[in-house]
Amino acid sequence: MQEIKPIGDLRQCIKQLKRDNKTIGFVPTMGNLHSGHLSLIDKAHELCDVVISSIFVNPLQFGENEDLDAYPRTLNDDLKFLKQHHCDVVFIPDSATIIGTRNTTLVSVPNIGEGLEADVREGHLDGVATIVTKLFNLVQPDIACFGKKDYQQWLMIKKMVLDLNLDIQIIGCQTLRENDGLAMSSRNQYLDETQRKIAPEFYQVLLKCAQAIQPHNPLLALENAKNELLKKGFSIDYVELRQQHTLAPTNSIDNAVIVATVRLGSTRLLDNLELN
C-alpha cells in the first residue's frame, strides 16, 4: 500500500492511474477505522481496479464546542487494517496543506444539507461537504463509498455531486452492526460499561417503531419511540420521519426513513431505518 502525504505526490499518482485507464474507488475517512469502514473498502474493491482511502480529521466539521483534539487518532492500526483489506493507496494530508486557514471557501448543500444534523451541529455538514469536495477534486474517483449510518451525509454528498456536475458515482453502503444491533461507530468507544449495555436498545426501539407504525398515523409510533428512549435513559436530538431521497418531512410511510440521533451522557449515537 502506497502512503501519500504531499498533495503533489497524490496528483502524480492519480495522473499515472488515469494514464493506465484504471478505475478508482475512493473511501474518505477520519481514521479510527472499524469494520464498518473496512466494508466500504471491500465494496470499492468489488467495483474498481484501484482503491484509495484518505485519513484526515477534518477541523471544518467540528464546532467550536466540540473537541477536535480529543478525536481518537490511531494511525498505525488504521494503516494495518487498510493493508489487510488490500487498499492500494492511502492519502494522509496535513491540515495546513489541504485546508489552509479556517477562512476557506465553503461548499454548502441546500435542503438536504439543512435541518437534522445541521441544526444540532452548526457548520458540521458544510465542513463535510467542503472537505469531500476537496478530496474528490484531488482523487478524481469513479466511485466513492459512504456508510448509510450517516444518512444525511450520504444523501447530501449525492446531491452535491449532482449539483456540481462531478462525474462520480456515490455508493451508499449498509450500516454494519455489532452482534447486539448497535450501529458500528468510532463514538461507541466513548460509552462506559453501563451505557454500552443500554446503547443497543436504540436500534431495538427503532425496529419496534417500524413494526408498530400505522399508515394513517405514523407519527404516533414515533412519539411512543421517543418516550421509550427517554425512559431507557437516552436524551433525544431528533427522531423523525423523512422521505428517503429528499429527507423532506413526511406524514406518509411510503419510501420513508426514520432518522434518529440520541445521546447517552455526552456520546451521540446516530441510526436510521428505511421503511420499505
128 in contact with ligand PAF (CB under 6 A): yes
Q: Least distance (Å) from ligand PAF to the CB of residue 176?
A: 14
- Binding segment for ligand PAF (CB under 6 A), chosen from 87-95, 124-132, 167-175, 244-252, is 124-132
Interactions with ligand PAF, residue window 80-109 (CB under 6 A): none
SS3 state of residue 147: strand
If binding is defined by CB under 6 A, does position 30 make contact with ligand PAF? Answer: yes
* Sequence-separated contacts (24+) of 161-164 with Cβ below 8 Å: 161/136, 163/109, 164/107, 164/133
Q: Which of 195, 168, 163, 164 is nearest to 182 (CA)?
A: 195
DSSP letter (8 states) at residue 112: G
Q: Which residues lie closer than 8 Å to 149 by C-beta, 6 or more apart?
A: 36, 175, 183, 184, 185, 270, 271, 272
Q: Are 134 and 93 in contact (CB under 8 A)?
A: no
37 catalytic per annotation: yes
Closest CA to 257 of 240, 238, 274: 274
> CB-wise, 140 or 250, nearer to ligand PAF?
140
Near ligand PAF by CB under 6 A: residue from 78, 88, 126, 150: 150
In this chain, which of 13, 26, 29, 143 binds ligand PAF, going by CB under 6 A?
A: 29
Helix and strand numbers (H, E) in the chain are: 10, 9
- Select the residue interacting with ligand PAF from 28, 36, 113, 218 (CB under 6 A): 28
- Report the nearest approach of ligand PAF to the CB of residue 201 (Å): 24
x/- string (CB under 6 A) for ligand PAF, residues 46-65?
------------x--x----
Annotated active-site positions, please? Answer: 37
> Binding residues for ligand PAF, per CB under 6 A?
28-30, 58, 61, 128, 131-132, 150, 153
